[in-house]
Amino acid sequence: MTSLVICVAGKHDLAVSALRYLLDHYPDHQILFIPNAKDAGVDDWQPSLLWHATTWGVRRTTLEAVYKEPNLRFFSLEFDKIIPVNQFSSRFLYNIHFSKLPKYRGVYTSAHPILNGEVKSGVTLHLMDHGIDTGDIIDMLEVSIGPDDTVRDLYCKNLATAKILFSKNVDRLVAGDFIATKQSLNGASYYSLKSISYSTIKLDLRKTAFEIHNQVRAFVFREFQLPQFNGWSICRSLITNQRSSSRAGHVIEETDTYFRVASIDNDVLLFKDYYPQLWSAAKIGDLNSLAVTLDKVDDLDLRNGNGWNALMIAAYHGQVLVMQRLLAAGADPDAANYKGTTVLMYALSRYEQTQEFAGFDLIASAAKRLNAIDHTGRTIREWIVEKSFPHLLDKLSP
């Protein structure tokens, strides 16, 4: 095969896993990457292409630098720039789009299908042309949308499906050996950046219960936003069997857990988000607040925007009584943040700062996966040795 220039441009797990595959399977070709503009080089709820590519020694490039590469294979994987196709010498310009094209061209492809009550979406591999997501289709996989799936759920489904789609097709894409089919004009739709204003999201309750439920689902993406109502963040909704007897949008009932609101047809429950209260209680050791929130959250291991769950927060801040109650309630002692830092590593940090031993001892006795490796490549044992606390090794099970 002629020596190729292969460029991965984009973000998140799709771009990172694609780059890793190409490095492993095409070592004789020149592999380049272009990160998105907002990639700060730090893993958060998704891995950073900039961080991983730099760690792997991959050379960073720009769009302009690869325009005239005749033997280019260009992969746009959630890339944030419009590709000027006419500037490229190569025609092998590939995009993976999170919809079942020709439907849902453009942006917010995990939100609009939910807003529209779809039960299926898809992920499409296509050639790039002069339009927006209008290029010939190479392959497509369907994605199911559950009745309670949020925009985050659908995004993660799309992401997982996109990785499968890439793996299924990558070798023939590199070889340039594929068949592409023109998109149909029937059923095509397009959504621009102005189609949703995330800075001014407001639930429209003068709708049917189904439509209200879909609005909540379409805006629940904790890493970015939650819909707001009457001073509360709303984390989920439920359509009841009770026909509404009040005007649509009227709050019929408010409890500690939810608002019951009337709609055009049936009442809807809007559930209050107690996770910030849980994380705050874990930090300051507020056992009363903790007791209230434990009954009102579904996932004790849910992580905040920094990647910390309640047990990590409590371990880092030395709140041993909170740690005990969280473990008794089912919190995972082996949980890790986005960088692989485990609860026990947080407890070690607390010990390093204060010489308080109880928190470390508690988690060490509960943890099972002591060989877990963080992004520095270290295990808890290696951290203990590096920090010169050999006496703590005796507390770890063999």
The pLDDT-based confidence of 398 (bands split at 50, 70, 90) is low
C-alpha closest to that of 66 among 147, 16, 142, 9:
9
For the CA atoms of 276, 333, 49, 32, the dihedral, rounded to the nearest 10 degrees, stands at: 180
351-368 pLDDT per residue, tens: 999 999 999 999 999 999
Q: What is the pLDDT of residue 2?
A: 83
Mean pLDDT within 198-211: 95
State the span(s) of the chain assigned CATH 1.25.40.20: 275-395
CB 141 within 8 A of CB 165: yes
How far apart are the C-alpha atoms of 143 and 122, rounded to whole Å? 5
82 Cα distance to chain centroid: 23
Instruction: Report d(CA 148, CA 171) in Å as an integer.
Output: 36
Q: Is the pLDDT of residue 296 over 90?
A: yes
Mean pLDDT value across the chain: 97
Torsions phi, psi of 115, nearest 5? -55, -35
Q: Pull the structure tokens for residue 42.
A: 């730090």
- How far from each other are the two terminal CA atoms of the chain, in whole angstroms? 50
pLDDT tens string 310-327? 999 999 999 999 999 999
> What's the pLDDT tens digit per position in 2-58?
899 999 999 999 999 999 999 999 999 999 999 999 999 999 999 999 999 999 999
Q: pLDDT tens across 72-83, in order?
A: 999 999 999 999
Q: Are 396 and 364 in contact (CB under 8 A)?
A: yes
Domain 5-191, CATH among 3.30.1490.20, 3.90.1150.10, 3.40.50.920, 3.40.50.12230: 3.40.50.12230
Burial group, residue 354, by CB count within 10 angstroms (0-12, 13-18, 19+): exposed
Asked whether the beta carbons of 343 and 311 are under 8 A apart, the reply is yes
**Chain segment 141-200, per-residue pLDDT in tens:** 999 999 999 999 999 999 999 999 999 999 999 999 999 999 999 999 999 999 999 989
Tens digit of each residue's pLDDT (9 = 90 or more) over 265-286: 999 999 999 999 999 999 999 9
pLDDT at 1 over 70: no
The pLDDT, as a whole number, for residue 335 is: 97
Domain with CATH 3.40.50.12230 in the chain: 5-191
CA R_g for the chain: 24
Residue 337 has pLDDT above 70, yes or no: yes
Whether omega before 47 lies within 30 degrees of 0, making that bond cis, reads no
Superfamily of domain 275-395: Ankyrin repeat-containing domain (1.25.40.20)
Residue with tokens 């509960």: 366
Q: What is the pTM assigned to this prediction?
A: 0.93
